[in-house]
């Protein structure tokens, strides 16, 4: 497009008075500009599907500064995707490549020489040289040799300053098949990526793209040459460059769908990308493991298992291979057959970050490392500096992660359903509702008595800790909460040995509607509802004073009616029984 723009500017600068032929140059100019406009219109669609869609591509317009010998309005292209420095032995020269030539000792100015549409370069004073289709190295050698033949003095040099762009067609299992404008400096996989960009417009009547395309059987069709099948996975895993080649003008890339049902190999176990891979007839054991991104740190290369099935899948041959020497290059790789399975065993590393969390009224709370099956509760409390003076041991607890036998977190709803499935006790709706409530309130508390262990020194209460346990020692608030039918509900100061009446008095006594005989003590740790005569009030307990139930007149009438009905039924049954007895 830039070259077309430059040519149009040159034609606009023609001085008609100096042009031979009178009106003919003017007519020719109009014809040329009309053709340029038509070409630009036809190319607009391709430009939208070209390299400018790559992230980071932009253009920058610059203007001439004072003392700057460059032409004004020079358009500098920034961000054209180039994967690597061009290798002259690999790069193929084609039309619209632009070379820069300098002959030191003859001229200090660089000569810009493009490759024509016919594949030739016109070097002033030298002539026309056909270079399209040759490697960059060979083309440079021929051009420089020709220049040296003409210019006996000076030292010529040349370089590729602007790689060309051209059109290739991508077909098959891609998001947006069709023609694409691409630079000559990107490889096949990037062209396929362009056809899979979300920003590309999808051609009409195309089936829904699944995104699962073959990477091992991509076909490149070049005019006048046989189809070439390339394996991108070999480029990714082993760096085989010719399996991810640069493209040329007019190439057609066909990307087939990935079909692992037809031929495949499975690689599982301790590899970084376990999966089912397409099979090629040259596949080998170590190459496939590399294709799966190699071993994980815990892999055991010495016991890799290869299973190969017979054609009828009735027999399987299993062999164990030490891949270590193959990976080090000490032994040759081993071929594998279609539908084989490769299993890389994993060395079990039982070293894990076993730890417990200590919280609350402890001198040094935090995380503490433990040894499985050997660290006890008293060991961690001692390492944590013991309890503070505010610790309330009766309410201290150890909470443990609730896991299934397989080591997964327990889902309390599922666990409740499993436990109810074969029960012989939950027969009424009330029993089932109560069990459901208890199941939802289930916590992973460990049965441990801190008072017995640390105050009474009873070692039988010294439990073994497990990874993830949380040890919590609450603060002794020195308060008791009075709740319910009292004038001043709230916290009351704890008094050692004080009775229920003391705390009720602190709360303003019983209210007028209090049902004193049903008062209960809710224990801070167990949440049990205790009769005041059956327990000692401790710090953190809650005193519940219920409200006396008052029933309406309708309620009593309903009860009387039900009782009368019951009595009537009993009397009727009695009369019937007496009559039957007397008749006998």
Q: What is the mean pLDDT of residues 254-277?
A: 92
Q: Is the pLDDT of residue 116 over 80?
A: yes
Q: How confident is the model at residue 315 (pLDDT cuts 50, 70, 90)?
A: confident
Q: Which of 67-81, 373-387, 474-488, 567-581 has the highest mean pLDDT?
A: 373-387
Q: What is the mean pLDDT of residues 130-146?
A: 94
Sign of the torsion formed by the C-alpha atoms of 421, 422, 427 and 433 = negative
Q: What is the mean pLDDT of residues 522-540?
A: 91
Q: What is the mean pLDDT of residues 403-416?
A: 86
Of 218, 214, 216, 206, nearest in space to 175 by CA: 206
Q: Is the pLDDT of residue 25 over 50?
A: no
CATH level 3 topology of 479-545: Outer membrane lipoprotein wza fold like (3.10.560)
Q: Is the pLDDT of residue 22 over 60?
A: no
Q: Which of 304-318, 339-353, 455-469, 568-582 has the highest mean pLDDT?
A: 455-469
**Poorest-confidence range of 46-50, 186-190, 417-421?**
46-50
**What is the three-class DSSP state of 184?**
coil
**What is the three-class DSSP state of 357?**
strand
Q: What is the mean pLDDT of residues 26-39?
A: 40
The percent of residues above 70 in pLDDT, for the chain, comes to 83
Q: Which residues, in sequence order, are bridge partners of residue 78?
A: 58
Reported as half-sphere exposure (CB side, CA atoms, 13 A), residue 107 has a value of: 10
Q: What is the mean pLDDT of residues 544-554?
A: 83
Map out the domains of the chain as residue ranges. Answer: 264-344, 479-545, 552-584
Give, as one character, the DSSP assignment of residue 257.
B
More confident: 228 or 550: 228
Q: Is the pLDDT of residue 541 over 80?
A: yes
Q: How confident is the model at residue 205 (pLDDT cuts 50, 70, 90)?
A: low
Q: How confident is the model at residue 76 (pLDDT cuts 50, 70, 90)?
A: very low
Q: Which CATH class is domain 264-344?
A: alpha beta
- pLDDT for residue 401: 92
Q: How confident is the model at residue 3 (pLDDT cuts 50, 70, 90)?
A: very low
Q: How confident is the model at residue 48 (pLDDT cuts 50, 70, 90)?
A: low
Would you give the distance in Å from CA 345 to the centre of its chain?
25
Contact by Cβ (8 Å): 200, 181: no
Mean pLDDT, all residues of the chain? 83
Q: What is the mean pLDDT of residues 40-47?
A: 50
Decide whether 264-344 matches 479-545 in CATH topology: yes
Q: How confident is the model at residue 46 (pLDDT cuts 50, 70, 90)?
A: low
Contacting residues for 387 by C-beta, under 8 A, at least 6 apart:
361, 362, 363, 381, 393, 454, 473
Reported as half-sphere exposure (CB side, CA atoms, 13 A), residue 257 has a value of: 7
Q: Which long-range contacts (CB under 8 A, 24 or more apart) does 438-444 make?
A: 439/412, 439/413, 439/415, 440/412, 440/413, 440/416, 442/402, 442/412, 442/415, 443/399, 443/402, 444/399, 444/400, 444/401, 444/402
Q: How confident is the model at residue 202 (pLDDT cuts 50, 70, 90)?
A: low
Q: Is the pLDDT of residue 363 over 90?
A: yes
Interatomic CA distance for residues 581 and 225, integer angstroms: 116
- pLDDT for residue 537: 93
Q: What is the mean pLDDT of residues 574-578?
A: 83
Q: Is the pLDDT of residue 134 over 80?
A: yes
More confident: 39 or 174: 174
| Residue range 140-173, pLDDT digits in tens | 999 999 999 888 877 899 999 989 999 999 999 9
């Amino acid at each position: 497009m830039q070259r077309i723009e430059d040519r149009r500017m040159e034609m606009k600068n023609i001085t008609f008075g100096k042009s031979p032929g009178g009106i003919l140059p003017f007519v020719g100019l109009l014809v040329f500009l009309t053709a340029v406009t038509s070409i630009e219109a036809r190319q607009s669609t391709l430009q939208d599907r070209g390299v400018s869609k790559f992230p980071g591509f932009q253009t920058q317009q610059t203007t001439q500064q004072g003392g700057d010998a460059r032409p004004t309005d020079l358009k500098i292209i920034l961000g054209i995707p180039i994967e690597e420095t061009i290798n002259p032995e690999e790069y193929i020269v084609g039309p619209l490549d632009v070379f820069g030539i300098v002959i030191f000792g003859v001229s200090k100015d660089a000569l810009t020489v493009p490759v024509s549409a016919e594949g030739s370069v016109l070097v002033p004073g030298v002539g026309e040289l056909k270079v399209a289709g040759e490697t960059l190295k060979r083309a440079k050698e021929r051009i420089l040799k020709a220049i040296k033949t003409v210019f006996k003095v000076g030292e010529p040099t040349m370089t590729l300053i602007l790689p060309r762009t051209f059109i290739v067609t991508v077909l098959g299992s891609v998001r947006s098949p069709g023609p694409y404008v691409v630079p000559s400096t990107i490889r096949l996989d990037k062209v396929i990526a362009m056809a899979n960009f979300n920003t590309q417009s999808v051609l009409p009547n195309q089936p829904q793209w699944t995104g699962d395309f073959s990477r091992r059987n991509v076909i490149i069709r070049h005019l006048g040459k046989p189809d070439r099948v390339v394996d991108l996975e070999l480029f990714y895993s082993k760096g085989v460059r010719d399996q991810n080649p640069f493209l040329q003008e007019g190439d057609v890339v066909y990307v087939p769908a990935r079909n692992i049902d037809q031929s495949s190999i499975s690689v599982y176990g301790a590899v970084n990308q376990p999966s089912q891979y397409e099979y090629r007839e040259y596949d080998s054991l170590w190459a496939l493991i590399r294709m799966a991104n190699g071993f994980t740190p815990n892999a055991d290369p010495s016991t890799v298992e290869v299973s190969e099935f017979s054609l009828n899948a009735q027999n399987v041959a299993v062999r164990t291979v030490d891949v270590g020497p193959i990976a080090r290059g000490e032994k040759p790789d081993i071929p594998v057959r279609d539908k084989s399975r490769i299993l890389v065993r994993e060395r079990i590393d039982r070293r894990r970050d076993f730890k417990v969390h200590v919280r609350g009224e402890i001198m040094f709370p935090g995380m503490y490392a433990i040894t499985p099956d050997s660290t006890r509760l008293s060991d961690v409390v001692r390492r944590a500096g013991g309890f503070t003076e505010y610790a309330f041991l009766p309410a201290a607890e150890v909470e443990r992660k609730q896991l299934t036998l397989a080591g997964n977190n327990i889902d309390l709803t599922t666990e409740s359903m499993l436990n109810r499935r074969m029960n012989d006790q939950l027969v009424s709706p009330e029993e089932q509702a109560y069990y459901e409530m208890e199941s939802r309130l289930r916590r992973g508390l460990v049965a441990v008595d801190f008072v017995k262990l640390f105050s009474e020194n009873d070692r039988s209460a010294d439990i073994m800790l497990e990874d993830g346990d949380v040890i919590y020692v609450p603060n002794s608030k020195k308060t008791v909460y009075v709740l319910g039918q009292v004038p001043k509900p709230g916290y009351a100061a704890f008094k050692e040995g004080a009775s229920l009446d003391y705390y009720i008095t602190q709360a303003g006594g019983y209210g007028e509607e209090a049902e004193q005989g049903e008062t209960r003590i809710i224990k801070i740790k167990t949440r049990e509802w205790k009769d005041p005569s059956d327990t000692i009030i401790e710090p953190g307990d809650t005193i519940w004073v219920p409200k006396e139930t008052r029933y309406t007149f309708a309620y009593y009438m309903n009860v009387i009616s039900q009782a009368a009905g019951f009595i009537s039924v009993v009397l009727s049954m009695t009369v019937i029984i007496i009559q039957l007895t007397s008749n006998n």
